[in-house]
Amino acid sequence: MKGNKKEKILEAAAIHFARRGYANASLEEIAADAGVTKPAIYYHFKDKAALYESVLCSRLERLADAVGQAVEAHEAVEKRVKAYIESFGAFLAAHRCFAAMLSHEFADNGRNLSDDATRQLSRTLGLVTRLIDEGVKRGVFEIENPMVVQMMIVSTLINHQTTRTLRKRVATQAAKELGGVALRPEPDMNDLSKILAKKILKLIRKERP
């Protein structure tokens, strides 16, 4: 009898934390989905917070690694920014629960982020700021406030993923209201990150007349 139950718990926990956020996810439901009882969770994890930490931190770490590697594969700052955005998008597309967990954490002002989680998150967020600074220093980028660009990249990517079904509901509502406005097709995550990368670069590229 191997410890595959622990993996099952982690998988179920990711789904529930993504759907309801930390506080509203129920350990009983997580246990049920994992095919165990609640105390089995306490056998593997100290408490609810430790389970959450385990689920979230592993992903934050992998994200920071993935984005870091993607960026390092290029030399030119423009390519690096493009790689950042696209690899961020690819990661979110591949780990669907993760964007929702981050979204809850953002809404909660990081209430449940441990120091370790904060550190991993800052690895990812700090990188784009450094990239932009680098570009500005080299005279390739021109920008008023790098913070704004960071926000545009990160929140667009994350919200696109998490608000998918809500947007559909709102769009349906709007179509009904205005009568016969066609629902338009939505770009998937990889399309989005490509479009976004192009647009962001257009925004920050220094124009040389």
- Binding footprint of its own copies on the chain (CB under 8 A): 20-21, 23-24, 100, 103-110, 113, 118-119, 121-123, 125-126, 129, 144-148, 151-152, 154-156, 158-160, 162-163, 165-167, 169-171, 173-174, 177-178, 184, 186-187, 191-192, 195-196, 199, 202-203
CB of 29 or CB of 78, closer to DNA: 29
Task: In whole angstroms, give the CA distance from residue 72 to residue 92.
Answer: 19
User: What are the Cα distances from residue 42, in Å, to 25, 36, 137?
Assistant: 15, 11, 51
Q: Which residues have C-beta within 8 Å of that of residue 66, sequence separation ≥ 6?
A: 87, 90, 91
Quick note: the x/- pattern for DNA over 47-86, rule CB under 7 A, is xxx-------------------------------------
The C-alpha angle 16, 18, 22, rounded to 5 degrees, equals 75
Residue from 44, 96, 119, 164 in contact with DNA (CB under 7 A)? 44
Taking CB under 7 A as the criterion, the residue among 13, 36, 63, 153 binding DNA is 36
What Rg value do the Cα atoms of the chain yield, rounded?
Answer: 20
Task: Find which of DNA, its own copies, none residue 76 binds, CB within 5 to 8 Å per kind.
Answer: none
Kindly write out the interface string for residues 13-32 of this chain, putting x where it contacts DNA by CB under 7 A and - elsewhere: ------------xxxxx-x-
Beta carbon of residue 133, minimum distance to its own copies (angstroms, whole number): 9
Residue 25 CA: distances (Å) to CA of 4, 33, 40, 139, 166: 22, 12, 16, 48, 20
Cα atoms in the Cβ-side hemisphere of radius 13 Å centred on 116: 12
Query: Shortest distance, CB of residue 7 to DNA, whole angstroms?
Result: 9
Give the nearest distance from C-beta 40 to its own copies in angstroms. 26
Give which of 155, 138, 164, 37 is closest to 88, Cα–Cα.
155
**111 near DNA, rule: CB under 7 A:** no
Beta-bridge mates of residue 141: 205
DSSP classification of residue 26: -
Q: Which two tokens stand for residue 191?
A: 């399309």
Residue among 44 and 205 whose Cβ is closer to its own copies: 205
CB of 113 to DNA, least distance (A): 17
The residues binding DNA (CB under 7 A) are: 1-3, 5-6, 25-29, 31, 35-40, 42-44, 47-49
